Structure 1
């Protein structure tokens, strides 16, 4: 259903600043907390080996996770440490999951710990660059993670779902191109000499640019396994080179979409926008974040109702059009990874 030997966004650091966090990822119940004297992020199976209570209902004391039921102390390696008045060090260990805290997120590896490789977490250049600003949030959505990938790799829906913010007829009228580069699927659309929709007029004003003149607009959607989509978007005053225009005549950003499967039919969706203009303008960051929140909220009902329809009609064949090429190629890449994982796990 979803690749296991990969890094997924589990939470943001603030979510584990005070209490343990229980979260299901890839159908596995986990608890995230800060362990040890350095307070590093850790993840364990959300199951106390004493009576099966969720460890997420406990507390962190001196860097140790303490079960909220009978006080059993757990180490970040999944081994029991102590329990008041009891001998517990011989308890079998519960599962521990590799974690990385980087780029403003806590990432988890739900697959084979022996294969966890920090080098497979691709670099996010905007995340640790002072010339960029980032603002975002998280939604829980009841849909298959692949439906969200489809949604993000085909932005034609903007004309209809987001008609009052980022949608416009020229999206329908402009063809896309799709290509594969290594483990990345890239779908691009470039629109020339059009008027900017409301969200992008706001962004132009935020960058102190005229918002009532024709622009060139671009959308470059990049899927990378296991389920991440980064979209280069922007507008530039028309006739200045579009995507390649000088920064002084454009407003451009990267839409950040980290899609973490919860179950077969639900996801944790971490969304945001990174921009490289006026990075220190916190009011602009807040305004863009609120605009994005409203835009992404418009997708929720559509995706959840789509999921309900597909569950009710599992044998119905769906049409595939040229606008679906990015999603189709992304799914094929996921299928190849799943097949490789199954082959590696099969008995020799």
Structure 2
């Protein structure tokens, strides 16, 4: 099998960890998923290890994801060729396959309730470079979330999340309010992240936050101080600190007893140039044992993000229909623009004229 070469024309870096799936998606069965325009299949092998292979059977080219898992190997559903997590061909009924080249494998890590994959050079994959997600490890937090498949460039979702002005219009019945438009936006960038923030003091909580206040055991009919702090980090992660506190109690810095605060979790994983997998959720630090509240918040987020989905997919179609149009940039777009600059810098570093193309060994080992 020929070594694969990273495509310099794709709008994403490949030497990075992306969320591929959640563990429940591979319970007892393989999962096919295209990530960074590369067909992959994920499955749980021997001793609970997770394999990530190219979704291509070396026998006749059938998708391995149409097969099944047996005794820790992935069995092709066409003629029964079986492969291990490493990509090594284990056996095939009535055939000698010991000389088959290994199927290309991708470094993969299971952590924080997600399965992460590295689509680029396996020699550069280091599990220590995964982002640290405190809320996924601490009993002081509760989390609930889901996944959407969205037919738009993943960078459009990053733009959406780094500028929450759209909430006033797209989410008018849930989290939107006019004060979002009126509050100034502050943007700053470091080597590791881009941060946009908006503070709204002395406002009425919109319906979603009224529900959250009730869940936190606080009155939902009082004036609150509200905040939104959006943090982009590579390759396509946005963590948004959001919350409301009873007015005059310190806002973002108020004691937990008088506020409902959360982190909106957003992982965008490119599928193709015009589609992506969107893993979303909310981690909260109040009423963490209330599973009914977790379900209510998840349902509320699902509704909110469904509204984004229609807008983003229609936006993508418009951009394809009018490829020559130049879009206008305003101060509210600074967070998205700087995030794109960070992405472009990473892509340029991978495809620099001073560097060799990224060559990926077909028998790459699984990351620890």
- TM-score of the aligned structures, taking structure 2 as reference length: 0.93
Does the Cα contact within 8 Å between 1:218 and 1:243 map onto a contact in 2? yes
Q: Tell me the residue number matched to 1:311.
A: 320
Q: Tell me the residue number matched to 1:50.
A: 59
- Per-residue CA shift, 1:233-274, capped at 9, x if unaligned? 000001111000011110000000000011100010000000
Aligned pair 1:299/2:308, yes or no? Answer: yes
- Per-residue CA shift, 1:39-98, capped at 9, x if unaligned? 211100000000000001111111011111111011212121111111111112221000
Alignment of 1:105-184 (within 5 A): 105-184=114-193
Q: Tell me the residue number matched to 1:345.
A: 356
Does the Cα contact within 8 Å between 2:141 and 2:285 map onto a contact in 1? yes
Q: Tell me the residue number matched to 1:202.
A: 211
- Per-residue CA shift, 1:258-315, capped at 9, x if unaligned? 0001110001000000001111100010011001100000001100000001011111
- Per-residue CA shift, 1:131-177, capped at 9, x if unaligned? 10000000000000000000000000000000000000000000111
Q: Tell me the residue number matched to 1:5.
A: 15
Aligned pair 1:24/2:34, yes or no? Answer: yes
Determine the C-alpha separation between the residues in 2 that align with 1:346 and 1:5.
12
Does the Cα contact within 8 Å between 2:135 and 2:283 map onto a contact in 1? yes
Alignment of 1:178-193 (within 5 A): 178-193=187-202
SS of the residue 2:184 aligns to: coil
Shift of 1:346: 4.5
SS of the residue 2:134 aligns to: coil
Does the Cα contact within 8 Å between 2:224 and 2:245 map onto a contact in 1? yes
Does the Cα contact within 8 Å between 1:79 and 1:89 map onto a contact in 2? no
Determine the C-alpha separation between the residues in 2 that align with 1:112 and 1:257.
25
Runs of at least 4 residues off by over 4 Å: none
Shift of 1:20: 0.3
SS of the residue 1:345 aligns to: coil
Q: Tell me the residue number matched to 1:103.
A: 112
Does the Cα contact within 8 Å between 2:67 and 2:74 map onto a contact in 1? yes
Q: Tell me the residue number matched to 1:66.
A: 75
Does the Cα contact within 8 Å between 1:220 and 1:232 map onto a contact in 2? yes
SS of the residue 1:126 aligns to: helix
Determine the C-alpha separation between the residues in 1 that align with 2:155 and 2:281.
19
RMSD between superposed Cα atoms in Å: 0.9
SS of the residue 2:232 aligns to: strand
For structure 1, which runs of at least 5 residues remain unmatched after alignment?
none
Determine the C-alpha separation between the residues in 2 that align with 1:291 and 1:71.
44
Determine the C-alpha separation between the residues in 1 that align with 2:175 and 2:263.
15
SS of the residue 2:263 aligns to: strand
Larger relative contact order (Cα-Cα within 8 Å, sequence gap ≥ 6): 2
Does the Cα contact within 8 Å between 2:15 and 2:120 map onto a contact in 1? yes
Does the Cα contact within 8 Å between 2:231 and 2:239 map onto a contact in 1? yes
Determine the C-alpha separation between the residues in 2 that align with 1:59 and 1:143.
31
- TM-score of the aligned structures, taking structure 1 as reference length: 0.98
Does the Cα contact within 8 Å between 1:35 and 1:76 map onto a contact in 2? yes
Determine the C-alpha separation between the residues in 2 that align with 1:85 and 1:59.
19
